[in-house]
Every structure is written in structure tokens, then in C-alpha cells.
Amino acid sequence: MNKWTKAIGVVAAAALMIPLAACGSTRGETSGGGASDDEVNVGISMPEQMLERWKIDGENLKEQLEGYGYNVTLQYADGKTDQQTSQIQNMANNGMDYVVIASIDGTATGAAAEQVAANGGTVIAYDRLIMNTDAVDYYATFSLTDVGRMQGEYIEEKLGLKDGATGPFNVELMAGSPTDNNARYYFEGAWEVLGPYFESGVLQSQSGKVPASVDDWQSIGIDNWDRQKAQNEMENRINSFYNDGTKLDAVLAQNDAEATGTYNTIEAAGWDYYPIITGQDAEKANVQAIVQGKQSMTVYKDTRELAKATAEMIKALVDGDTPEAPDTFNNGNKDVPSQLLTPVTVDKDNIQEVLIDGGYISAEDAGL
């Protein structure tokens, strides 16, 4: 957005605030002027619905907030940055008191977040941080580097690297979407564990697709975390480097969509084994793939907890209390007060205990 369209947006937003102010829709105040005075309006902007997780995130959050008696508008953006921006702008123009945003592109969302703030709304970044703006008030997510570290440690353990196995082992690496601020942290965590083994030559990559450093992570990023793009990438690598019988020992797939693209490729190639394949999100289909031995692990992030933490932040603000946000995360402009939840490694050995007994997925859905 150039500065003119931005300026027009702000003027339009300001114009829209007049009727809202006139009908007394002010935050948390009781003026005795009618039922709408106490209303709390919350907008939720989710990135897409291709992954189950965002659907569950949106629904959980909505349910929780409605349970507090707030009015909730939930929108999904089909993975398109422009669509998300205009949805958030509409929320700003409609005078939302709180807007929860899981950004497609954390940098592109900044301007829309500023519009929410200009209209007096509070912005909470959900799962993914909004970058380079002061207009983000709080952030709720899972410990990001831990997610990547857990994927790296799984590969380290299963290849026996800590026990001194010297390989060399063939490992292919993929990172997340270049526009997703989380993806850098995920790769950083994995690279902390795997990088030294690549340096010593215990791990190698036949494709040569190994970033020179963490800062170069985008060179192995998969646009939009797209399953099909991950699949195309793995098809290329497998056809070029592994279809002559060269063993592929492990694939760092940084979420379940990338894991799916990987095991689909291997299945189609008709191999008689699956390498170690990591993942993230505990998507239903991927839990089944773990049960079937196609995928090795996933990093489970209980999105019910994330929704709960976020809804509780909003409730605290509505009630005039301080939200729980003991950590901070820098977005390039400021340290954003944050709450970081704990992810859990899940593989076939603990699916029952963690996911099924924990009520996240039924035994039937897990394919057990």
C-alpha cells in the first residue's frame, strides 16, 4: 500500500468512527445509554483453511470469546495477503475493540494493524507476529525455536548421532514460508541441532540445498507452506538424487503440510522404506500417517490452549486487568509482550497418551 492509499484508508476509518462514537460503542464503559454500551466486539483474522489447525484455532477462539459474552466476527483469508489486509481494514472500520490476527505475511499486515489501532482497537498477534509496527499490543504463540529444536533433536536421536554414529547420513531440509516470521525461528531451532553435524560431515544433503547460515533460511523456504509446492520440491530432489537407490535417511519437514508432500512423493516413487520425516501441528491425516509409519513425528501445539490464552488476554483487558504476557518478542519496532506456550513431540509411542487421552483427537480419527 502506498502512502496515499494508506492516508485515504485512515481518513475513511476516521469518518466511520463518527457514527460509531455517536451510538456510544465505547470500550468497556457503561454510560447507561443503551445495551450496546457494554458490547465488546472482537474480530478474528485467520490466514487460511487448508490446514485444519487454522479452522480449529478460529472456531475455538470464537467459542471461547462468545462464552464471555463478546460479539465475534471470524474471517479466513484464503492464503491471500490482500484479502487479509482488506478483511482487517473492514474490522477496523467496523470499530472492533479487539482484533486477533494470525498473519499470512507478518510484514504486510502492519498497515492494517495500524488502522485498527488508529480506530482505538487493540491488536493481538496470534501464533505469528506482526512485524515492524508499534500497532501490535500483545502476542500469543508457542515457543518457536523449541518447535524446530524438537524436530532437529528427533532426527539426531533416531540417527544415533549423539551416540556417535558417523554416517554420513543423507538429510534433505525444507523450511517454512519465506513470508512467515515464525519460519525463521523454526529453522533456527532445527539448525542449532543439525548445523554442527552438517559442518562435521556426519550429515550431508545430495541436493546441496543447505543454507550457508541461519540467515539464509529462505533459500530453502516453501512458499506459503504449500503442500503441493513441498511435494514438487521433494519430487525434484528425489528424482534427481535418490532414485538410483541412494538412501535418503531423513527429511526435515517443518510442518505437516511439508511432511505430507514428502511422504506422498516417496509413496508414489514406490520405495520400500520411509525416511525419518518430521512435522508440526498434529493434523489428523498426519497423525494417521504416523500410525501407518509414513511420517515419524509431529510437533504438537495444543491450539485449544493458544485460543484459551488469547481469549484470556482479551478478557483481562476488558476487565481492566493486566493480561498474562511474561515474555517479550521483538518485532523490529518494539518488544511485544508475549505469552509462549510449550510444544510437545509426538510420535507413534505417545499418540495415545498425548493426543487421544488428552482429548485432541479421537482414536478413530487417529486411525487406531
CB of 187 to ligand BGC, least distance (A): 12
**How far out from the chain centre does Cα 358 lie?**
21
Work out how close the CB of 147 gets to ligand BGC at its nearest, in angstroms, rounded to a whole number: 7
Question: Pairing state of beta strands 344-347 and 297-300?
Answer: antiparallel
Q: Which CB, 172 or 180, lies closer to ligand BGC?
A: 180
The SS3 assignment for 346 reads: strand
Q: Minimal CB distance to ligand BGC: which residue?
A: 255
Least distance in Å: CB of 179 to ligand BGC?
Answer: 10
Q: Which of 154, 146, 150, 147 is nearest to 171 (CA)?
A: 154
CB of 94 to ligand BGC, least distance (A): 26
Q: Which is nearer to ligand BGC, 97 or 256 (CB)?
A: 256
Q: Give the DSSP H or E segment for 141.
A: strand 138-142
Residue closer to ligand BGC, measured from CB, 229 or 315: 229
Q: How far is CA 303 from CA 232, 281, 290, 306, 343, in A?
A: 29, 9, 20, 5, 10
245: left (phi over 0), alpha (psi -120 to 50) or beta: left
Cell triple for 19 = 457514527
Q: Which residues bind ligand BGC (CB under 6 A)?
A: 51, 53, 127-128, 180, 182, 225, 255, 280-281
Instruction: Enter the C-alpha cell of residue 303.
Output: 491450539
CA geometry: angle 101, 103, 109, nearest 5 deg: 90
**Min CB(189)–ligand BGC separation in Å:** 12
Spatial separation of the C-alpha atoms in residues 183 and 197, rounded to whole Å: 21
Query: 65, 314 in Cβ contact below 8 A?
Result: yes
Task: Pick the closer one to ligand BGC by CB: 233 or 281.
Answer: 281
- Torsion from C-alpha of 17, 109, 260, 275, nearest 10 degrees: -150
Which residue lies nearer to ligand BGC by CB, 95 or 110? 110
Residue 50 Cβ vs ligand BGC, minimum distance, rounded to whole Å: 8
- Longest Cα–Cα distance in the chain: 77
Shortest Å, Cβ 126 to ligand BGC: 10
Which of 64, 182 has the CB closer to ligand BGC?
182
CB of residue 177 vs ligand BGC: minimum separation in angstroms? Answer: 7
Taking the least distance from each CB to ligand BGC, the nearer of 159 and 183 is 183
Q: Which is nearer to ligand BGC, 120 or 178 (CB)?
A: 178
Give the sign of the dihedral formed by CA 344, CA 349, CA 350, CA 352: positive
Cα separation, 37 vs 223, in Å, equals 44
Return left, alpha or beta for 282; rule: phi > 0 is left, psi -120 to 50 is alpha, else beta: left
